[in-house]
Chains A and B, each alone.
Chain A
């Protein structure tokens, strides 16, 4: 069994008779230190996508699927191309199948591709990835609290909030579960 609190983007689980892949998730603290989560899931049997809310303590049937380590090669429009690191076989996945993953991956990056009935259905990302800032307003020196934020654009085109002290060309660590800033990193 897998708890809702353990789920991350790209995970596949069984709920009743449905086989679902997590495309997006966000957690929220409710009262008395409890938490709930909102998922966008794709039903691999019907092909439909839906939003659902769960308690973090809810559990689901965990299913074992084939997972292969692959390298993200490039994207053409709405199609993302990956290469099997061992067989060099090429696979294509439509952008809409990838949830928020395109916000965090760049060419040459190794990721895990999940297969269901022989077909690639989703990409599983590490919890933390490093991305480079390509645009933001100039940094404010002296503010190291990290509480005040400003918008910034990443090298993947993803727009997110970063602390005021961040500068263009700097690398930051991003939490792929909710797309939030974690820390600055030196490259």
Chain B
């Protein structure tokens, strides 16, 4: 079976990171039986994420542990005459990225000329990950596009059993490397002021006579993290000595996964790093993508709703910790714009004081997700049911 994955890079690396992960997940689920092409409109973004890809190109066979994927530049499809003669059976439009007209029209026109095999049989509209209940209602709903012979379906990732599940990264996470020197944390969010973070962390470490190394990742949160850190150093010079800040350059996916798995607490954002943090089973705080009217709070609330029952196994202490975690998530995400203004109500301490409890809760949940919510396997099952 041939599968084309279509990726439109909107901003940064999340879109291509998730699409590349999907390609590998499908290869893993099919034991390498699928022939996968990945059409991306920002070759440079993909190269930054996956150094195995040349800096520039139109077509490249990219190898991974799971198998080989043919990467095509969707901005240069006219140069890919051979590829256009081999239509996919399935097109997956990641996050609604429309199939390039020249690509699809070529196949449809061929079909109309009676060359029936030269067209895709199914288009899957892959949605963004959400914990909201609508993910169950929309998953696998038909979405007919009015062109004869091509079916389109919604495929909605999610945490509920009746959704498409999660795209799991490569099979085995890197081993957890502990730093005997102290705590390891990372900050990777949208624009944000981290004054409370430094303040609480300094106090926490002072009380325990411990130290921490905080990786401030490249990207939109660095400016706010750096400014608030410099203010903290001026105000609390002595306590600041317990914290080593590392301004980390761009990390590829495997290196970032290793940091998450080996760390103690992480601030993550969007979709790709959110899933990475969850699967690492380390305490984390998620900065959801800003939505009009502060609608991201609805998505945060839905995530808390699906997470909450997993705290029950920890008894009343689990319930109490969850309430604090939930308050932190809400405060961190309550915003109408992305900026670096002060956020006086944020609290972080619960993630450090109850690190082991939160990690246990996450481990149990992740085990369940791995058994019941593998998106690659679910997508393959759906395609098999459609006799593809």
Contacts and interface: CB of A to CB of B under 8 A. Distances in A.
B114 interface: no
A28 B134 contact: yes
Contacts of B289: 31-32
Nearest to A59: B146
Contacts of B67: none
Interface in A45-75: 50-55, 57-58, 60-61
B141 interface: yes
Contact of B127 (A18, A36, A58, A61): A36
Interface in B66-125: 95-96, 125
Contact of A16 (B125, B144, B154, B271): B144
B148 A53 contact: no
Contact of B141 (A18, A30, A31, A51): A51
A51 B141 CA distance: 7
B142 A32 contact: no
Given A30-B128, A31-B289, A52 B295 contact: no
B127 A30 contact: yes
Interface residues of B, number: 27
Contacts of A50: 142
**Is the contact region of chain A dominated by helix, strand, or loop, or is it mixed?**
strand
**Is the contact region of chain B dominated by helix, strand, or loop, or is it mixed?**
loop
A38 B292 contact: no
A179 to B, nearest CB: 15
B134 A55 contact: no
Interface in B263-304: 271, 289, 291-292, 295, 298
Contacts of A18: 144
Contacts of B298: 29
B143 interface: yes
Nearest to B95: A31
Contacts of B127: 30-31, 36
B146 A38 contact: no
A16 B138 CA distance: 22
A31 B128 contact: yes
A16 B147 CA distance: 6
A34 B126 CA distance: 13
A28 B128 CA distance: 12
Nearest to B153: A53
Contact of B142 (A17, A52, A55): A52
B318 to A, nearest CB: 27
Contact of B138 (A17, A29, A38, A60): A38
29 contacts: A14-B146, A15-B145, A15-B146, A16-B145, A16-B147, A16-B148, A28-B134, A28-B138, A29-B292, A29-B295, A31-B95, A31-B128, A31-B129, A31-B130, A31-B271, A32-B10, A32-B95, A33-B292, A34-B95, A38-B137, A38-B138, A50-B142, A53-B125, A53-B141, A53-B154, A54-B143, A55-B125, A58-B143, A61-B146
